[in-house]
Structures are given as C-alpha cells and as structure tokens.
Structure 1
Amino acid sequence: MKKSKKMAGFSLLELLVVVTLIAIVATLAVTRLSNIHVKSAEVLNMANVSRIGPAIEAFMTANERSLNRLDLVMTDKVKGTAGDYDTSPDYMLILTNVAGNIGLSTALINSSGVPLLAKYHLETKDVLALEELGLTSLMRLRRQGSDGNGVTTGDDGEWSTGLTEDPDTCLSIATRVERGLAVPCINAVSMGNSTDNTPLGALVYQSCGQDVRLHDNSSFSIYINGIDKGMNTTDVMGYLKENGGILLAFGIGQYASFIGNTSSGLDSAPVCSVMAKDTYRRYFLLIRLETFKGITRAQYAGVMDANGNTMKQLRAASK
C-alpha cells in the first residue's frame, strides 16, 4: 500500500519573508505611481504656463483694452495710503486665498518673514497707467469656508455670480482708488521656505528681465542694477518702481477677457493639481508698473504659477 506524500508547509519565518517582500514591492509601486503623478502634474503646470503667455500676447495684439477683468486675489476693504506697501505675513494670509505648495506659497510665511505677495495701495497715476493698458475693472473671488485662523477662504473655482452676493465682486479701479484700493505685488525681498534661503522675489524679477539680485553676504542685501538697497521692503520697492518697475500680480480666472475668446486667447482658465489641494490653483498675470521722469507706465511682463515660478524658472528646475 502506497503512502501519500505530505506537502511541506511554509514555516513562520518563510511566511514573514514573503509578506515583507510583497510589502516592499507594493511600497515601491505606490511610490513610483506617486512620482509619476507628481511629474505629470509638473509637466502639465509647465505646459499651462508656456501657453498662457503667447495667448495673452496674441490677444493683446489683436484686441484693444484686452486685459480687463482680471482677478483681484485680495479682499482688503480698509482704506490705505496711496503708494504704501504692507508685507505682514498674517495679514496676507487673511487677505488672500492663493497659497501654493506648503513652504513655497505666494501667501504663506517663509524664512524671510514675508510672503512673496505684498500689498500695494495704488496711486492715481498707477490707475491711469493700468487703464491705458486696458485694465479698468477687477473681479473678486467669493470667499467661503474657514481655515485654521478662522479666516474665510474661497475654494478653487468658486465665483460670485452677481453683485447681489458680493457688492465688491466687480471693482472699478478708477472709482475705488480714492479709498486706497490695494493690489498684490511681487515682494523683491521675499526669501524661500524655512529650509531654503532662495531669493524667491528677486528670481521672479530676474526671470522678467530685471536686474534684481540677492547679494549673499553676512547681512543679505537686495541689489538693483548693482546698487545695494538693503532688505527693507519699502526702500527696495520704492526704489525699484523708479528703476525697472514693480510687478503687480493678478489672477487669471474664467472671467478674464482673453478666456473663452474664439479668435485668440484661451478657451478656459487653466488649472493644475501640482499646487496644493483646496487652494487657488490657477495662474497669475504679471504687470510691470514703472515710473520714469514722473510718468508711470504699465506693461504685460509675464505669467507665474501659485508657487512663484515663471516659465524660465520652471524650465531651469526641469533640467
């Protein structure tokens, strides 16, 4: 009579080895998938930035008063003094909902103690320059929900649909400047996150063709056209406006004049998930505002994502 052979079972140690190997393979797969997702988002972000610029330039060439109805990504109703700047980090968090990735946000606190966006109160001559460029009114995002500071914030894509919901949805620049209309501008003295002293503000100005640099010495100073202007925002920005121009940052949303235009411009406002979830994930249109010999002029300067990157910076980072 034949004896049946017993199947040898796995020992506990062997089972543990198999489970460990499966866990390692699964972790590698998830990590790779996550990396692919991030890389795809970065590529999409770069593609968005690269197509916005030419579309705006084509639209401006073909149409007059082309830049009307950009987003005012700031909700400040307090009268300010014309020509003043405010860089208080807590205040900018209250005023904006344009945070990008944590640590690189346009509004979050970073290592220099000031965010990339500063608040600038327009002067009458600034308004005239913007109107000459075709920007006579701004759209304000509806703010809803609440963040950790108890500040109401707007979810991405949520808009006020009429003046009955928010009397300040559409702002006339000319009439509102008398009460100190504040707009966001790029702060040249803004640095990187808590572990990175990259001169974020200076890099944005550099990528838009201006000679603004961080002199890396023991004291840190912003050099404009080779001249040391220190690190005081008011001093730096005041000098910069007279010597190259400051950069205003307006959001590109669905109501911009060049969005949905059939002859030129863009079909829709571009978004990208490379920016943090539940934040303002669209893009900024940069306008250079310069005063020379008493005359202020405004001109289109470029496009920036919510992490403060222009096309030049994105290309450099991808190499």
Structure 2
Amino acid sequence: MAGSEKKGGFFSRLVRGLTKSRDNLGSSVEDALSGYTSIDDDFYDEIEEILVMGDVGIGATTSILNHLKQKVKEQHVRKPAQCRELLLQSIRDEMNVGQADYRFEHEKSVVLVVGVNGVGKTTSIGKLAGLLKQEGRKVVLAAADTFRAAAGEQLDIWARKTDVPMISGQEGSDPGSVVYDAIAAAKARDADVLLVDTAGRLHNKKNLMAELGKINRIIDREYPEAYKETLVVLDGTTGQNALAQAREFKEVTNVTGIILTKLDGTAKGGIAIAIHSELGIPVKYIGVGERVDDLQKFDADQFVNALFDVKKSDL
C-alpha cells in the first residue's frame, strides 16, 4: 500500500511538473484532435508540426506518425478524435524502457555520471544515492569531479543528507586516483553500487575523452567483475541543446542511459521522447523538483499520461 501511495505521490508531482510542457505540447495535440473533422494530409501535417515544435524531434516525430498512420489504416479509423489513444500509444512505444536497462541496480556495479556544469549532475547523483539506498542497496560515492571548484563539497552535502560514505581527493587532483581509492573502499564495505561523479568539459573533448578513458581503464583493471553503467545528466529546460549534449557525450564514451532533470521548469518535455528515439539511449530517470525523492525511474506510461493529462477513467 505504501508503495502505491508513494508512486501516486510522484505521479501527482510529475503532473504538476509537466504543466508547462502539457500547456505547450499536450493541449496543442488535443486542439488538433478536436479541431479537424477528417484524417487527411492536413491533419497529419498539423500533428507533425506540433510534435516538432514541442521538441519531440524530427526522427521521433516521423516514427510516431508512421506508426499512427499504420494503425489508423489497420483499424479503419475515420475521425481525428478517435486517433487520440493510438497517437499516445505510438509515443509510449517510442520511449519505452525495459527493466533490463536497470541491471546496475541488481548486481555489483560502478555507475559513471557525466554532464556539463549547471545541469544538476551532482544533485542527481545525491538523489540517485538516496533512491538506491531506499531500495536497500549499499552505496559509495566517489567525488572524481576534481576540476570544478566546490564540486566535492556539494557532493559531500548530499552524502551527509543520504548517509552514504564518500571518497574524495584534493581539488585539482587526479580523478583516476579518486576512483582507484573509491573502488578499494567499495570493495572493503561490500558496497552494491559505486556512484562516480566525473567532470564534464565538452568544450575540450580530447581532455574529457582521455580522462574518462583513464577512469574506465582503472575500473576494468581494479574491479573487472563490476557491471559498468554510464549515465549522462541533461537539463530538460534546454530542449534541443540537451539532445546535442547527449550526442557529444556519446561520441566520447559509452553512454547507457540519461537522467533528465528540471522537467518541472520547462515547456520542452517533449525532449524526453526525442533523446530515446534519435540516439537509442533510454531516459532512465527524470527529476521534477528539489526533494530527494523527486528523482524517479522513468516510466513511459506515466510520462505520457502526465504530459497529455490522461485520467484513470480514460485508460
């Protein structure tokens, strides 16, 4: 019962958090569905424009529309209003994340977290530590972003808040040595998950690639049995810029998932659909506020229901 209350609580926050995106994207789709009397090229063009303008992206929009057109034809749908559930299901299918994508939660793992300054990276790591701890996992934090002033102090605040041990080094020290020490600490404590905060300097991709390469080699050498995950933190308010950042990080390291933050302050929530579709990288967590439990696993059904104001009675 408590689990369902907790889930309901987050869904309510998600609905509130996606208000701007719903007003921008969701209401425009609803207007098109009720405003057209027949399903024709004009109708499809309108839906296409709404999705693209809502930061869903060209690739995802094309895929969603192709799926919609196929279902409309197969089911002999005649009225635009009858397309609503078909369209929403097409969007859900475009961004569905399988449970296999959370493998790191169930075995000894090292999770590298990357992202440029200002996207909420350190905060997301702290919240993820809290989330994993709530699920009964033993977590160790590694403050390997030694480049940014105060990054270690910021992570230490979260370590104290979530009561999770943290390994750090001096500002400007070698991130690799921090990771080396953190692996030793994780093994000594029999930790389930080692969460590593790394520097994200996209303006100098060669340095970033070299640094992440070194960290990965240390993990492979010192902790070969651990499952490795690399999550990129993106700021949802930046829309297509977030997609561009994800693409750039994908060029320098093996990105396995996305943490999408600040969805409560943006009308660009459609970017969650675009990222998964355009890059083949699933959005695994979303953030809709400042509280520790405002970071949750991404659920395509919940997200689409909140974005388009789907009530339980509609399902």
User: What TM-score does the superposition give when structure 2 sets the normalisation length?
Assistant: 0.23
Give the helix-richer structure, 1 or 2: 2
> Which of 1 and 2 has higher RCO (CA within 8 Å, sep 6+)?
2
User: What TM-score does the superposition give when structure 1 sets the normalisation length?
Assistant: 0.23
